Amino acid sequence: MPYSIVWFKRDLRVYDHAALYYAAQRGPVLCLYIVEPSLWAEPDAANQHYQFLLESLRDLYAELRRCGGQLQVVTGEIPIILDRLFKQAPFAALYAHEETGNGLTFRRDLAVARWCREHAVVWHEFAQFGVVRRLKNRNLWQKNWEAHVGCRCLPIPNLQSVQLPWHEPPPPTAEQLGLAQYTPNNRQHGGRRLGLSVLHSFLTDRSGQYRGGISSPLSAPTACSRLSPYLAYGCLSLREVVQATRQQIANLPLDGSRRKQGLNAFISRLYWHCHFIQKLESEPELEYFNLHRGYDGLRENDWNQIHFEALVAGRTGWPLVDACVAMLNDTGWLNFRMRAMLVSVAAYPLWLHWRPVGLWLAGQFLDYEPGIHWSQLQMQAGTTGINAARVYNPIKQAQDHDPQGHFVRRWLPAMRRVPDAWLFEPWLMTPDIQARCGVQVGMDIAEPLVDLAIATRQAKAKVHALRAQPDIKAAKATIVDKHASRKRPGSKRRSKAKESGQLELDFEF
Ligand SMILES: Cc1cc2nc3c(=O)[nH]c(=O)nc-3n(C[C@H](O)[C@H](O)[C@H](O)COP(=O)(O)OP(=O)(O)OC[C@H]3O[C@@H](n4cnc5c(N)ncnc54)[C@H](O)[C@@H]3O)c2cc1C
């Protein structure tokens, strides 16, 4: 009997799953997840990603059982698995969601398309986000996003299940895949059940803190939705999250305006989710190269391993930066502002090229989503050519968002002994004061690697000098046409940044 394969990727759910729904309309389906060793050997892969994936697969397995299906988890490289399956039990069609992943998944999808053509297998691909394949420019992009999120969510289909024609051993361990041992102790766990419960607690309760709570690293862990890993692995569909949020806004009483503002701002971020992924979809090279190629050579040849190692070890000497690294190591998550600050510190005073910094952070962020990640890295490093330089001063950020030092003292125990007067610049304590409070700068807490003001000024001058060159300016229009946002839904504010094509990403309310 002819059957279809549904190839699950980062879309680990059965609800609102276009590939599964349409394959089921056609007849029996084999539900396949393929653990690809080559993908897990990539430098952006991490053990925590694999653990989250396995947890999500467990939920998916149970969900598929409930609707008559059976998840088959196979290990190997996709064309080889397809070949083996096709020889033993030929199939007529392959169903999957489009994926905007890293360079390897891009090349792998081209190979799968080739394989399908050669074997006369029809490959049906569906958009799972408001991201458009083969987009010409951004003029109608917002309309498309609205159309995507506004469609009816697809129901869970009843499945006629097909089994694998061979016995497959259990998936490999992280160790067998060669993944480093480290996983954050307090990371979020995978699966649709948990994703739905995080969504529920956000919509019904925590969204009340979104307004005003998302910038400080103290309030952000509960004020932010914390949905990012569930969206990145597709445990929840973007459309269902947007629709549930809109429904919640509609149900709020008239005096719920603070909550409404928070929920509307949250929807803008779901829009940005796709806006940024679209950049990588339209320009896969931005994972490796400067979006504006006129910036090539800006930092690449000045690599400073000592700066990089100090950053990774949380020993830059700026307490807020080092505390963020400690929190990231423990939780796999940081809020937007702290992520932007980390990259800004790396790119400006420490003058580090964004690519190795981005690879390190890709492994640290549980929610690593290549399209958002690499676009953001370049934006914060100032290499897109279209965004005004945004440089975050880690001392000012600490004064604004952790004025009492609760955050830095939580994550850097030695800071608990530093008197309030020296909280933001502990390296200025004299040896006498250090001795009195029992903290040695350079030992218990790091000494800044560079003079922040001087290093930042020099870095900005280099970027501005390049930016001012006529040929660099001239190349900007093409990038704006291809990548810049035209309008953000729900935004009434205009700003210089917006006019230059930059979204304001963590505006205060
Ligand atoms: C250098 C850098 C790297 C980043 N890398 C990632 C990444 O790999 N994966 C990722 O999901 N987000 C990334 N972000 C964006 C943002 O920081 C996270 O989405 C957010 O902190 C996740 O927490 P949340 O789900 O509670 O966010 P919320 O504020 O509740 O936002 C809800 C959702 O909207 C989307 N979103 C929020 N902010 C942004 C943004 N600025 N750009 C695009 N989409 C956004 C995410 O899908 C997020 O889950 C990055 C930001 C920076 C500055």
Domain harbouring 342, CATH code: 1.10.579.10
pLDDT tens figures, 335-389:
999 999 999 999 999 999 999 999 999 999 999 999 999 999 999 999 998 877 7
The yes-or-no verdict on residue 493 having pLDDT over 60 is no
Residue partners of 216: CB distance under 8 A and separation at least 6:
401, 402, 407
- Mean pLDDT across the chain: 93
Among residues 452, 413, 448, 393, which one has the least CA distance to residue 323? 413
What is the span of the domain harbouring residue 301? 289-499
Residue type, 29: V
Residue type, 377: L
**Domain finish residue from 284, 312, 336:** 284
Our answer on whether the CB atom of 273 is closer than 6 Å to any ligand 1 atom is yes
Domain assignment of residue 155, yes or no: no
Domain harbouring 13, CATH code: 3.40.50.620
The yes-or-no verdict on residue 492 having pLDDT over 70 is no
Residue partners of 399: CB distance under 8 A and separation at least 6:
424
Alpha-carbon gap, residue 114 to 422, rounded angstroms: 62
The yes-or-no verdict on residue 500 having pLDDT over 60 is no
Task: For the chain, give the percent of residues with pLDDT over 70.
Answer: 95
Alpha-carbon gap, residue 209 to 358, rounded angstroms: 30
What is the predicted pLDDT for the residue at 188? Answer: 98
Residue nearest to atom 39 of ligand 1 (CA): 269
Domain assignment of residue 305, yes or no: yes
Looking at the structure, tell me whether residues 255 and 299 fall in a common domain.
Answer: no
H/E element holding 467? helix 452-467
Are the C-beta atoms of 97 and 9 separated by less than 8 Å? yes
The torsion angles phi and psi of 5, rounded to 5 degrees, stand at -105, 135
Among residues 204, 205, 226, which one has the least CA distance to residue 214? 226
* Residue 137 pLDDT level (bands cut at 50, 70, 90): confident
Looking at the structure, tell me whether residues 323 and 443 fall in a common domain.
Answer: yes
Pocket test for ligand 1, best of 336, 352, 390 (most atoms within 8 A of CB): 336
The yes-or-no verdict on residue 506 having pLDDT over 80 is no
Our answer on whether the CB atom of 226 is closer than 6 Å to any ligand 1 atom is yes
Tell me the C-alpha to C-alpha distance, in Å, between residue 357 and each of 108, 159, 319, 390.
25, 44, 19, 17
* Residue 507 pLDDT level (bands cut at 50, 70, 90): very low
Looking at the structure, tell me whether residues 212 and 226 fall in a common domain.
Answer: yes
* Residue 485 pLDDT level (bands cut at 50, 70, 90): confident
Question: Rounded mean pLDDT of 300-312?
Answer: 97
**Domain finish residue from 250, 266, 284:** 284
Domain harbouring 242, CATH code: 1.25.40.80
The C-alpha torsion from 425 through 426 and 432 to 434, rounded to 10°, is 180
Looking at the structure, tell me whether residues 267 and 408 fall in a common domain.
Answer: no
Alpha-carbon gap, residue 151 to 240, rounded angstroms: 10
Q: What is the distance in A from the centroid of ligand 1 to the CA of 433?
A: 41
What is the predicted pLDDT for the residue at 258? Answer: 84
Please tell me which residue, 486 or 471, carries the higher pLDDT value.
471
Q: What is the distance in A from the centroid of ligand 1 to the CA of 416?
A: 30
Looking at the structure, tell me whether residues 371 and 267 fall in a common domain.
Answer: no
Are the C-beta atoms of 82 and 34 separated by less than 8 Å? no
**Total number of domains constituting the chain:** 3
What is the predicted pLDDT for the residue at 483? Answer: 79
* Residue 488 pLDDT level (bands cut at 50, 70, 90): low
What is the predicted pLDDT for the residue at 264? Answer: 95
The yes-or-no verdict on residue 505 having pLDDT over 70 is no
Residue type, 449: L
Query: Would you say the C-alpha torsion 431, 435, 436, 437 has a positive or negative sign?
Result: positive
pLDDT tens figures, 391-434:
999 999 999 999 999 999 999 999 999 999 999 999 999 999 99
The yes-or-no verdict on residue 72 having pLDDT over 50 is yes
pLDDT tens figures, 224-268:
999 999 999 999 999 999 999 999 999 998 776 889 999 999 999
Looking at the structure, tell me whether residues 276 and 324 fall in a common domain.
Answer: no
Domain assignment of residue 343, yes or no: yes
Looking at the structure, tell me whether residues 99 and 15 fall in a common domain.
Answer: yes
The yes-or-no verdict on residue 78 having pLDDT over 70 is yes
**Domain finish residue from 100, 128, 156:** 128
Our answer on whether the CB atom of 365 is closer than 6 Å to any ligand 1 atom is yes
- 181: exposed, middle or buried (C-beta count within 10 Å: 0-12, 13-18, 19+)? exposed
What is the predicted pLDDT for the residue at 495? Answer: 43
